[in-house]
């Protein structure tokens, strides 16, 4: 049993992005997770389209773009042009989620739905068959380096059941506070993709940490 590993560059050294992306290229990482924050949907601002483009210029792995923004429909196309191969929008930010998902899929890329810790899995029932990924937040979005919320395990199991019983092909991605203490249990519960920010980038040897997550 192993998961796809998606290191989040939010925790990387922005002054040395080229070096950080090259490190990820050489590592066993599967995707590069890109956290976009607008200061409205979440209480923090990260970076946007030009930085995503700059990462893409060096990256040899798919960019997994997590939009923590309101009105994502205004920017989906620009992020696609910037190199996104997976785009997730937040269920809590989308009054017309089905339309948002169709917009992403029409670009020929993977569409994901991100859900905050307070959002019940049942809210995904009528969209699960249309999506490629659920980004299950295991912290409140907005910041890296937060503590993992233990209730996530139950939600992974519920989501796994929903996916299996509906015949959906959606992958379960866990985002926030992933480390050596929870990664194995998350995979056992049904996680397919692990995002890791601080656990990877604050390590002395990030490539070894990625390898460790990969071989769990």
Phi, psi of 102, rounded to the nearest 5 degrees:
-65, -35
Cα–Cα distance for residue pair 13/93, rounded to 1 Å: 29
Nearer to ligand DX5, 82 or 148 (CB): 148
Q: Is 90 in the site for Zn ion (CB under 5 A)?
A: no
Which among 13, 130, 175, 208 is annotated as catalytic? 175
The interface partner of residue 47, options being ligand DX5, Zn ion, none and the CB cut-off 5 to 8 Å by kind, is none
**CA-CA distances (angstroms) from residue 179 to 201, 210, 213?**
12, 10, 8
Cα–Cα distance for residue pair 193/186, rounded to 1 Å: 10
Q: What number of other Cβ atoms are within 10 A of residue 44's Cβ?
A: 15
The interface partner of residue 199, options being Zn ion, ligand DX5, none and the CB cut-off 5 to 8 Å by kind, is ligand DX5
**CA-CA distances (angstroms) from residue 158 to 76, 101, 125?**
29, 22, 11
Residue 175 is among the residues annotated as catalytic for this protein: yes
Instruction: Tell me which residues in 4-43 interact with ligand DX5 (CB under 6 A).
Output: 8, 10-11, 33, 35
Residue 132 is among the residues annotated as catalytic for this protein: no
Q: Which residue from 161, 84, 54 is spatially nearest to 75, judged by alpha carbons?
A: 84
CB of 145 to ligand DX5, least distance (A): 4
CB of 167 to Zn ion, least distance (A): 27
Which among 30, 35, 64, 132 is annotated as catalytic? 35
Among residues 139, 156, 187, 213, the one that binds ligand DX5 under rule CB under 6 A: 139
Is 130 annotated in a binding site? The answer is no
What 8-state DSSP symbol labels residue 162?
A: H
Among residues 198, 203, 207, 216, the one that binds ligand DX5 under rule CB under 6 A: 198
Instruction: Give the binding-site size for Zn ion (rule: CB under 5 A).
Output: 3
Q: Environment class of residue 184 by beta-carbon count within 10 Å: exposed (0-12), middle (13-18) or buried (19+)?
A: middle
**Residues at the interface with Zn ion (CB under 5 A):** 35, 66, 175
Which residues are known to be catalytic? 35, 175
Residues within the annotated binding site for substrate? 8, 66, 142-145, 175-177
């Amino acid at each position: 049993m192993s998961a796809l590993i998606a290191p989040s560059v939010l925790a990387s050294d922005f002054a040395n992005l080229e070096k950080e992306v090259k490190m990820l290229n050489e590592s066993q990482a599967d995707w590069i997770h890109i956290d976009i924050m607008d200061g409205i949907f979440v209480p923090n601002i990260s970076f946007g389209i030009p930085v995503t483009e700059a990462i893409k210029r060096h990256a040899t792995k798919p960019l997994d773009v997590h939009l923590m923004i309101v009105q994502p429909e205004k920017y989906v196309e620009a992020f696609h042009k910037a190199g996104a191969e997976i785009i997730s929008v937040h269920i809590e930010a989308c009054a017309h989620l089905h339309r948002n998902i169709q917009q992403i899929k029409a670009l020929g890329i993977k569409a994901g739905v991100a859900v905050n810790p307070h959002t019940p899995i049942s809210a995904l029932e009528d969209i699960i068959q249309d999506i490629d990924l659920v980004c299950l937040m295991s912290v409140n979005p907005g910041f890296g380096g937060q503590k993992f919320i233990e209730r996530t395990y139950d939600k992974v199991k519920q989501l796994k059941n929903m996916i299996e019983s509906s015949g959906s092909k959606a992958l379960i991605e866990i985002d926030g506070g992933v480390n050596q203490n929870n990664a194995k249990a998350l995979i056992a519960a049904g996680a397919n993709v692990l995002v890791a920010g601080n656990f990877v980038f604050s390590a002395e040897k990030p490539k070894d940490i990625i390898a460790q997550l990969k071989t769990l």
